[in-house]
Amino acid sequence: MIVRLDVPREYLLARDVCSYGYFLLEPNHWSPDARAFRTTIDLDGRAVTVRITQGDLKQPTRSFAKLRGRPLTVHADARLSKSEGELLSTRLSRLLDLCTPASTLRDFHALDTRFKKVGRGRLMRSPTLFEDVIKTVTSCNVQWPSTIVINRRLCETLGTRSASGLHAFPTPEKLARVRPASLRARCRVGYRDARIVELARMFADGRIDPARIEDPHRSDDDLLDELLDWPGIGPYAAANILQLLRRFSRLPLDTESVRHGKAVLGFTGTPKQIMKRVHDHFLPMGAHRFRSYWFEIWSFYEQRHGPAWTWVRETTGTQFTASKLQSSA
């Protein structure tokens, strides 16, 4: 089944889907040669694998700019009912960040003019809040290659299988039924086992309501306080979930921030002092702080291994951590 998906007039699939590390994690897969993004999404119990392209694939890569704003072609591996088609469109819109208004991007580019010419502004994420939360947990206190393995195991072991034989990310209900010890053994999640299961149970039984969490009328401070009450969610994870909720006023600072402060911004001092300086450095960006911070880091990555749309998940993707990219330069 083929579906056309309209996009904002400046949207460029290769640039905007390859804008955040989750494009390297299962069930997501970007093919540089085919210039296609593939993912598998659970549509309320039925997994569907989709392959997404933009424009005429026979165009040379030097003409990427001409693809901006062209509709996306979504190839699904199964026929969809009307309700499934609507749900798929909603989840793809979230994943591809199609809902961010053009006016928001103009505001960002007015504050940080470095990214206006290249059009950076949109950030991909997961099709559901639950997947974003679990992916955040699996990326804390762990090297990136291990995060890749954990997410692959979660999908292959617990995700619903599509007609193509690929697996969606597991639903809260599926993860909620798994014993923590079994999850640790089968998916290599380590000490995160109990907290992942408890988070799944909280989503499954309604204690965490995505609609309430994604309510745009709530303040960042109020939402941050709630996130910090969730099992396994500390300051870094909470700030990262905020940006995945399109709230960019906080920075998820960690050792990568210290490395960036030293290598790119030239800051000196103890890790705590450098982290504070990184925090203060981006304060003028206001509501766009994370965008400015992230795209500066992303530019560093791309200087080492080329544009992200050329990265291969199984090779370059395993070196996503900036310290590895730096050492390989």
Strands lying side by side in the sheet with 36-42: 2-5, 72-76, 47-54, 36-42, 29-31
Q: Dump pLDDT digits (tens) for 59-84.
A: 555 567 789 999 999 999 999 999 99
pLDDT band at 1 (very low <50, low <70, confident <90, very high): confident
Strands, E, within the chain: which ranges? 2-5, 29-31, 36-42, 47-54, 72-76
Strands, E, within 226-308: which ranges? none
Domain chopping of the chain, boundaries = 2-109
Residue with tokens 């960019």: 248
> Is 0.85 surpassed by the pTM of this model?
yes
Residue type, 297: I
The average pLDDT across 86-99 equals 97
Measure the CA–CA gap between 326 and 106, rounded to whole angstroms: 31
Calculate what percentage of the chain has a pLDDT beyond 70. Answer: 95
Coil, strand or helix: which one is 119?
Answer: coil
Q: Does domain 2-109 have CATH number 3.90.79.10?
A: no
pLDDT of 272 higher than 50 = yes
Q: Are 204 and 173 in contact (CB under 8 A)?
A: yes
Q: What is the pLDDT of residue 316?
A: 79
Q: What is the pLDDT of residue 321?
A: 54
Measure the CA–CA gap between 55 and 43, rounded to whole angstroms: 26
Can you read off the two tokens belonging to residue 304?
């080492």
Calculate what percentage of the chain has a pLDDT beyond 90. Answer: 85
Q: Dump pLDDT digits (tens) for 286-325.
A: 999 999 999 999 999 899 889 999 998 888 777 755 445 4
pLDDT of 138 higher than 90 = yes
How many residues comprise the chain? 329
Q: Dump pLDDT digits (tens) for 206-259.
A: 999 999 999 999 999 999 999 999 999 999 999 999 999 999 999 999 988 999
Q: Are 297 and 325 in contact (CB under 8 A)?
A: no
Across the chain, what does the average pLDDT equal?
A: 92
Q: What is the pLDDT of residue 326?
A: 41
Measure the CA–CA gap between 89 and 98, rounded to whole angstroms: 10
